[in-house]
Amino acid sequence: MTESSPREELISLALADAARMAALHETAFPSGQAWDARQFENLLNQESVSARALSRGNDILSFVLLQIAVDEAEILTLATALSARRRGCAARLLLGLEPQLVESGVTRWLLDVAEDNAGALKFYQDNGFGIDGRRRDYYQRLEGQRVDAILMSKPMARQVAT
Ligand SMILES: CC(C)(COP(=O)(O)OP(=O)(O)OC[C@H]1O[C@@H](n2cnc3c(N)ncnc32)[C@H](O)[C@@H]1OP(=O)(O)O)[C@@H](O)C(=O)NCCC(=O)NCCS
């Protein structure tokens, strides 16, 4: 008899998962840009911040840290495990969260992304996010170099009552 592999699920992550988030974040961002477990804990201690993930079994495939402010959900960070990249995980995660966010009164995704993060910019553009503007020299790299932040947003799909 063959065991079926675990299904993908949308789950909430908690303070206790800070180390797992930091470990995945470290694989997703260059040195100096990844957040450590303490930074995740500090963020998750804010009432407006929460973390959600697409998981399979015990594995986090992709996770997002969100800050909700009235009717906007700001993506503080988003990362997909290297082994799960370009298989639609991040897209399914964001899309899968929309119904519950819309239900709680959120109407718009918001984020900023570094101008030199070509893969993420392409991801957001291909998933319907539009560019609203830029913040000059917003990010500082380890070498002291400054990089603009590109501000993006996307309206959430209204849920049709059935
Ligand atoms: C951005 C990121 C979250 C996307 O996760 P993902 O699960 O691989 O994304 P999906 O599979 O849902 O979407 C893939 C699509 O995004 C775009 N994309 C993602 N990575 C890309 C890359 N390196 N180069 C070009 N396009 C890319 C493409 O449109 C791609 O579609 P394709 O494979 O058909 O070309 C992931 O690449 C990541 O963790 N990056 C490092 C962390 C980061 O930059 N986070 C975002 C800033 S907050």
What are the tens digits of pLDDT across the range 101-159?
999 999 999 999 999 999 999 999 999 999 999 999 999 988 889 999 999 999 998 76
Measured distance CA(27)–CA(59) in Å, rounded: 14
Nearest-CA residue for atom 23 of ligand 1: 119
Average pLDDT of span 60-73: 98
Whole-number Å distance, alpha carbon 63 to ligand 1 midpoint, is: 13
Cβ neighbours, 10 Å, residue 22: 17
pLDDT greater than 60 at residue 162:
no
pLDDT value of position 142: 84
Q: Which fold has domain 8-155?
A: Aminopeptidase (3.40.630)
pLDDT in tens, 23-36: 999 999 998 899 99
Look at residue 2 in the predicted model and tell me its pLDDT.
Answer: 54
Q: Report the share of the chain in percent with pLDDT over 70.
A: 96
Q: Give the pLDDT score at 157.
A: 82
Q: Say if residue 5's pLDDT is above 60.
A: yes
C-alpha 86 to ligand 1 mean position (Å): 6
Q: Where are the domains of the chain?
A: 8-155
* Residue-wise pLDDT tens digits, 77-114: 999 999 999 999 999 999 999 999 999 999 999 999 99
Which residue, 92, 124, 115, 109, is CA-closest to 9? 92
Average of per-residue pLDDT across 45-58? 97
Ligand 1: which atom is nearest the Cα of residue 93?
Answer: 12
60 lines ligand 1 (CB under 6 A): no
* Cα separation values, 22 from 7, 58, 66, Å: 24, 16, 15
Give CA separation, 144 vs 27, 44, 138, 147, in Å: 22, 28, 12, 10
